[in-house]
Structure 1
Amino acid sequence: MTTILDKIIAEKRTEVLRLKRESTQLSFEVSEKPSLFEKLKNSKNLQIISEIKRSSPSKGIINSSVNPANQALQYAKAGAACISVLTDTPFFNGNFQDLKDVTQIVEIPVLCKDFIIDKVQIDFAKAHGASVILLIVAALSKEELSNLYQYATDQGLEILVEVHDEEELKVALEIDAKLIGINNRNLKTFEVDLRNTEKVAKSFPFHENRVLISESGIKDSNDAKFVAGIGASAVLVGETLMRSGDIESTLHSLQVPKGVVRL
């Protein structure tokens, strides 16, 4: 049975061919951003990675009229630790221009949120100003993940490695990932269960120099307190902020104190 993830990856293979044809036009004059890892590691409160997302396969249109630069400024002003920009077009209605518009207007870290399967996508992310990229364990073989992780590291980028279960967490640890995101959304069914963070966090090496980020399904302060209590240093929040009529208030409500990790 073909999953949503399968369809996205198939589309990415076609996109990669196009990007390779266009890669000769890339310029890499980008500004430096502060370290997301250091920000999350040293913060006493749960930090927010605020996402710019027009739509998704599971939710449809979320906010089609959003101005990425304006949204990013509101996120930064409200105290976001990082801004995530979806650059996938067919499934999320994002693009690399959105990423460039955001990176040129904010000074905080910016994450290129995409389904990366090839080095050329990393090149485009960096050229458009990203300081952080996403690598999804479920979308890559161990060899592909390791090679892309090393390539991005060599480019001076930080890497958020996304996992969905304990086995994928082991893979992330094998490549020595520092920023590890636990996605509460099943990428095969797109169903969300916040307790996935709790389940996977039981195997997370909190005593090591790493940070845990809970992704998807964070709606309010109760959800924030829940994941903070099981060791999350940050949450990645898209839909809740994209639909909010008061971004500053919503974001502040999620910045709860970090919990004491129960090892």
Structure 2
Amino acid sequence: MATILDQIVAERRIAVKQAREKRSVSELESLASERPVPRSLRAAFLGIEQAKAADADLPHRVISEVKRASPSKGLIRADFDALAIAKSYEAGGAAAISVLTEEKHFQGSLEYLTKIAAEVRLPVLRKDFFVDPYQVIEARAHGAAAILVIIACTERALCEDLLHAAQEYGLDVLVEVHTRGELDKALELGGELLLGVNNRDLHTFKTDIQTTLDLIPHVPQGRKVIAESGLNTREDLDTLRAAGAGGFLIGESLMRAHDPGAKLAEMIGRKT
């Protein structure tokens, strides 16, 4: 029986085909050439590129997510202003912004990505289900600094094509895994990719931060691990940081807060 993940991937393939009919790769490359060089997501977590010194010493570095809905939770935030939320994250101390661009199940949009990338001074990750290198240049054309590659729904050959396209267009890559087998596949890709450990099983949508705790010991020393999903409190971040997590991607708990930026500041220990 097909899962929601299978359904989304199939739908994204159709969406890419339709997008190609509207805009060619050369048109996207022309748009991308007009964009400024994006800030580095990888550098934001390796300490190469830092903002002001006061921010550089924050104990937790977070990719804060702009997400209106999800397949498992339905509508998460009704009063949704993507740009205002992104700016509140920036003020709250985010290291980067993640923007959902899948329309049907997450109610995302490339328009949100474009606006946010133009207005915030942080790296912006396009979070979607990448099924074709076309989406990589599409991400760059809309201002993204990085893309997400989900090992659970990406065959090795496609992974390599996506990574090659990301390198060609100057984008960082966050490679997402959930199991030991997926982690091994991600490590086989080589390079200096950021590793994301998703605490949510994309087949069942169950969430458990033990997933990150179990996988971190199998990550080579020096590789940055970004823990994703199921992160609700400062204590969650403290626990995972102590185990070796180098950063976090947080969406739902921030999006459900009255003031997402203030909630972020509370979780990372920043005074507003």
Q: TM range, normalised to the smaller chain?
A: over 0.9
Is the contact made by 2:38 and 2:143 (CA closer than 8 Å) also made in structure 1?
Answer: no
58, 61, 82: which one aligns with 2:75: 61
In structure 1, stretches of 5+ residues that fail to align are 258-263
Matched with 2:36 is: 31
Of the three residues 251, 256, 262, the one matched with 1:238 is 251
Contact residue 104 and residue 129 of structure 1 kept, 8 A: yes
Q: Which position in structure 2 is the counterpart of 1:9?
A: 9
Aligned ranges for residues 1-263 of structure 1 at < 5 Å?
1-24=1-24, 25-26=27-28, 27-28=31-32, 29-42=34-47, 45-176=59-190, 177-205=192-220, 207-208=221-222, 210-255=223-268
Q: Match for 2:22: what amino acid?
A: E
Instruction: Tell me how far apart the structure 2 counterparts of residues 104 and 198 of structure 1 sit (CA, whole Å).
Output: 36
Unpaired segments ≥5 residues, structure 2: 48-55
**SS of match in other structure, 2:12:** helix
1:50–1:84 contact (8 Å) kept in structure 2: yes
Determine if contact 2:99/2:124 at 8 Å carries over to the other structure: yes
Which shows bigger deviation, 230-239 or 23-32?
23-32
Identity fraction in percent: 38
Q: RMSD value over aligned CA atoms? A: 1.5
Whether contact under 8 Å (1:19, 1:120) holds in the other structure is: no
8 Å Cα contact 2:63-2:94 kept in structure 1: yes
Maintained 8 Å contact 1:185/1:193: yes
Alignment-derived partner of residue 261 in structure 1: none
CA contact (8 A) 1:4 1:188 kept: yes
1:104 counterpart SS class: helix
The range that moved more, 83-92 or 236-245, is 236-245
Asked if 2 retains the 8 angstrom alpha-carbon contact of 1:23 and 1:120, the reply is no
Larger mean Cα displacement after TM superposition, 139-148 or 245-254: 245-254
- Tell me which moved more, 26-35 or 148-157: 26-35
Alpha-carbon distance in structure 2 between the residues aligned to 1:114 and 1:225: 28
Aligned length: 255
* Between 235-244 and 40-49, the greater mean CA deviation after superposition: 40-49
Q: Structure 1 stretches (4+) deviating beyond 3 angstroms?
A: none
How far the C-alpha of 1:7 sits from its partner, in A, is 0.7
User: What is the CA-CA distance between 1:92 and the residue it aligns to?
Assistant: 0.3
Residues 183-231 of structure 1 deviation map (CA, whole Å, 9 limit, x = unaligned): 00001111111100011112011x23x2100000000111111111111
Q: Distance in 2 between matches of 1:168 and 1:41?
A: 23
TM-score by length of 1: 0.93
